[in-house]
């Protein structure tokens, strides 16, 4: 029986795509490069902001330009990450149900740690007990390190934990950690992507997710 649910953040609990796209395009514009559409940015999100900017810039961009673009993106995103970002429909009700039922809830994200903690604190502070984002001291997903750290800090084990995410990175992370994973279809990837990555469970609504977690 599961007693711990650990979530990805972008594309799982929060729809952050528009703010990420705006900050990416602001940074690109400052460098003199053309913008990307939201659908293009959608497929770049999930690995880290480093990967995001690598994909957004033209291939072969030099390191000095990359570093400037990354710094410009992060500075812009820091003050604009709440402009359009909001929980997906049903997420607050889902968290309330799980919290009321006694589940331990946490977030593990490849978003920089400072941004992860801020968004979780401001939007989910009543429900999420722990938030861990990308930092220089721990390997990012799909390495299992952040998920392992979250379980350790929560006092949970692999058998009692389920990880919920929306991308192939999340599925690979759960496999690497030996934790059951549920893929959600309201985020940044489609069913085929999740199935190809090896997702054992896939849900299309937060109500379906709660029902599945209660059965696991």
Over residues 51-102, the pLDDT tens digits come to 899 999 999 999 999 999 999 999 999 999 999 999 999 999 999 999 999 9
Q: Tell which CATH architecture fits domain 4-15+86-215.
A: 3-Layer(aba) Sandwich (3.40)
Beta-carbon contacts of residue 75 (< 8 Å; ≥ 6 apart): none
Residue 49 has what pLDDT? 87
Over residues 43-64, the pLDDT tens digits come to 888 788 888 999 999 999 999 9
Confirm if 111 and 133 have CB atoms less than 8 A apart: yes
Please, what is the average pLDDT of the chain?
A: 95
Would you list the domain boundaries of the chain? 4-15+86-215, 17-80
Confidence at 126, pLDDT banded by 50, 70, 90: confident
Residue 190 has what pLDDT? 94
Instruction: State the pTM of this model.
Output: 0.92
Is the pLDDT at 33 greater than 90, yes or no?
A: yes
Confirm if 194 and 173 have CB atoms less than 8 A apart: no
| CATH code for the part of the protein at 17-80 | 1.10.150
């Amino acid at each position: 029986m599961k007693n711990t649910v650990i979530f990805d953040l972008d594309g799982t609990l929060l729809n952050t795509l528009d703010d990420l796209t705006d900050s990416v395009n602001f940074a690109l514009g400052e460098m003199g490069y053309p913008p990307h559409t939201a659908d293009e940015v959608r497929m770049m999100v999930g690995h880290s902001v480093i990967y995001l900017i690598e994909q957004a810039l033209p291939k072969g961009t030099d390191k000095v330009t990359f570093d400037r673009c990354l710094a410009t993106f992060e500075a812009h995103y820091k003050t604009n990450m709440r402009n359009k970002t909001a929980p997906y429909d049903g997420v607050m009700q889902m968290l309330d149900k799980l919290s009321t039922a006694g589940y331990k809830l946490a977030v593990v994200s490849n978003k920089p740690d400072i941004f992860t903690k801020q968004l979780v604190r401001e939007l989910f502070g009543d429900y999420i007990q722990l938030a861990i984002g990308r930092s220089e001291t721990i390997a990012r997903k799909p390495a299992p390190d952040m998920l392992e750290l979250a379980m350790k800090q929560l006092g949970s084990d692999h058998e009692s934990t389920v990880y919920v995410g929306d991308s192939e990175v999340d599925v690979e992370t759960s496999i690497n950690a030996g934790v059951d994973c549920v893929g959600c279809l309201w985020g940044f990837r489609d069913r085929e992507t999740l199935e190809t990555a090896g997702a054992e469970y896939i849900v299309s609504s937060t109500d379906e997710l709660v029902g599945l977690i209660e059965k696991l």
